[in-house]
């Protein structure tokens, strides 16, 4: 039978306390999906769950559980009538993955296999997976269609690539499995409420959270990694997508799984590329003053251009990124000024019963 948001069945969200997961849980709750969240809180705070509850006005079913913990997952699957999983849980720092590759392969790949085994035991065979544009390596075609050859240059990217292969093999071997591999481009921005957003610990790896910390005075200046790329201003091009648009792509993918498509890949991007200097200008405009930056050498492993061709998702998922770059910058700035320390200072732990 077709499961929908009104069916009483649950969507399990792994990594639901994280940046993209928390925004997706809000959109699911807004559309009356029943949601249960599993997160080990390794890279997040229980405060994200409190904020989700504040925004949605609903109580979140939460379990502090590692996806490597099969028995822990079985407990969750036996308590809730789950029909689909949105799988965000994973480690995501590219640089760190080159330092501790075993941790990345174990957490991301073994964690996913553990999750899939438990899903199979409970006859849950629909999964939406967080893949990444990084699976395209240095792409030969811009904008990038899903048919572009894949290949990755770092352990993090290879975990995404391997998991894509695992899910594809599973859907070939067992025809009742359905998997949506969502290749995210560069998520940025925060929830329009101003109380939920990205909460990086330590020095941010990514451009937009780093810029936000420059703007509030936590960091002196942005290092622009390379101005000798073959682009209009010499800086690299990415496809920045608002995290709320990205979240809505997951709801569209869930709907798609109801049509039993097997394994399907979708780019979730806007189709519009921006250079680093264009992003600096756009964010400076939201802040209302120029932000300091210096030109530095290229960062190892960076490519010139990652811009999505999102037409497959536009057509087949009936989904399109619609929020402007201005709104992305504005929401990030509102979040950053209202929460200069992110969720620091809030209790990171769930109540005892979780």
Residues that bind ligand NAD (CB under 6 A): 14-15, 17-21, 39-44, 66-68, 88-92, 107, 111, 130, 132, 184, 187
Q: Does 153 bind ligand WQD (CB under 6 A)?
A: no
Told to judge if 266 belongs to the known catalytic residues of this protein, a careful annotator would answer: no
C-beta neighbour count of 309 within 10 angstroms: 19
Which pairs from 337-342 meet CB under 8 Å and 24+ separation? 337/216, 338/194, 338/195, 339/195, 339/197, 340/216, 340/218, 342/45, 342/197, 342/198, 342/199, 342/200
- Residue of 94, 163, 243, 252 that binds ligand WQD (CB under 6 A): 94
- Cα(149)–Cα(294) distance, integer angstroms: 34
The residue nearest ligand NAD at its CB is 18
State the DSSP H helix or E strand holding residue 310, giving kind and residue range, or none if neither.
Answer: none
- Residue of 30, 64, 205, 314 that binds ligand WQD (CB under 6 A): 205
Interface size with ligand WQD, residues (CB under 6 A): 18
207 binding partner (options ligand NAD, ligand WQD, none; Cβ < 5 to 8 Å by kind): ligand WQD
DSSP 8-state symbol, 108: I
Residue 200 buriedness (CB in 10 A; 0-12 / 13-18 / 19+): middle
Q: Does 302 bind ligand WQD (CB under 6 A)?
A: yes
| Least distance in angstroms from the C-beta of 111 to ligand NAD | 4
Q: Does 162 bind ligand WQD (CB under 6 A)?
A: no
**Of 76 and 211, CB closest to ligand WQD:** 211
Q: Which residues inside 273-292 make contact with ligand WQD, applying CB under 6 A?
A: 276
| Least distance in angstroms from the C-beta of 1 to ligand NAD | 30
Residue 237, helix vs strand vs coil: strand
- Cα(346)–Cα(49) distance, integer angstroms: 12
Residue 329, helix vs strand vs coil: helix
17 binding partner (options ligand NAD, ligand WQD, none; Cβ < 5 to 8 Å by kind): ligand NAD
| Least distance in angstroms from the C-beta of 117 to ligand WQD | 24
Q: Does 236 bind ligand WQD (CB under 6 A)?
A: yes
Q: Cis peptide leading into 143, omega within 30 of 0?
A: yes
| Least distance in angstroms from the C-beta of 156 to ligand NAD | 7
Q: Which of 156, 184, 210, 229 is catalytic?
A: 156
What are the φ/ψ torsions at residue 42 (nearest 5 degrees)? -60, -40
| Least distance in angstroms from the C-beta of 69 to ligand NAD | 8
- Cα(36)–Cα(48) distance, integer angstroms: 14
Binding site for ligand WQD (CB under 6 A): 92, 94, 132, 134, 186, 205-207, 210, 222-225, 236, 238, 276, 299, 302
Report the catalytic residues.
156
């Amino acid at each position: 039978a077709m499961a929908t948001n009104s069916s009483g069945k649950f969507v399990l969200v792994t990594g639901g306390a994280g940046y993209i997961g928390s925004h997706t849980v809000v959109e699911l709750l807004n559309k009356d999906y029943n949601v249960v969240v599993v997160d080990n809180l390794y890279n997040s705070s229980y405060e994200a769950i409190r904020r989700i509850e504040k925004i949605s006005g609903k109580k979140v079913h939460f379990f502090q559980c590692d996806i490597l913990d099969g028995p822990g997952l079985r407990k969750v699957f036996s308590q809730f009538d789950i029909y689909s999983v949105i799988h965000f849980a994973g480690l995501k720092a590219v640089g760190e993955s080159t330092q501790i590759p075993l941790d990345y392969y174990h957490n991301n790949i073994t964690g996913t296999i553990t999750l899939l085994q438990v899903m199979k035991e409970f006859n849950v065979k629909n999964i939406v997976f967080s893949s990444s544009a990084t699976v395209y390596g240095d792409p030969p075609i811009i904008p990038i269609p899903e048919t572009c050859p894949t290949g990755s240059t770092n352990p993090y990217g290879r975990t995404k690539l391997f998991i894509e292969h695992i899910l594809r093999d599973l859907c070939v071997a067992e025809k009742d499995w359905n998997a949506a591999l969502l290749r995210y481009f560069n998520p940025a921005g925060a929830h329009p409420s101003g109380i939920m957003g990205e909460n990086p610990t330590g020095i941010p790896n990514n451009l937009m959270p780093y810029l936000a910390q420059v703007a509030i005075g936590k960091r002196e200046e942005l290092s622009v990694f390379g101005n000798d790329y073959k682009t209009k201003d010499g800086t690299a091009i990415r496809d920045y997508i608002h995290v709320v648009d990205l979240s809505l792509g997951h709801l569209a993918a869930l709907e798609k799984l109801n049509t039993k498509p097997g394994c399907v890949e979708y780019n979730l991007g806007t189709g519009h590329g921006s250079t680093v200097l264009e992003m600096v200008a756009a964010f400076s405009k939201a802040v209302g003053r120029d932000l300091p930056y210096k030109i530095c050498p290229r960062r190892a492993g960076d490519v010139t251009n990652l811009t999505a061709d999102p037409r497959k998702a536009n057509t087949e998922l009936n989904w399109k990124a619609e929020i402007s770059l201005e709104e992305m910058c504005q929401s990030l700035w509102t979040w950053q000024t209202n929460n200069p320390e992110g969720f620091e200072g809030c209790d990171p732990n769930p109540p005892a019963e979780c």
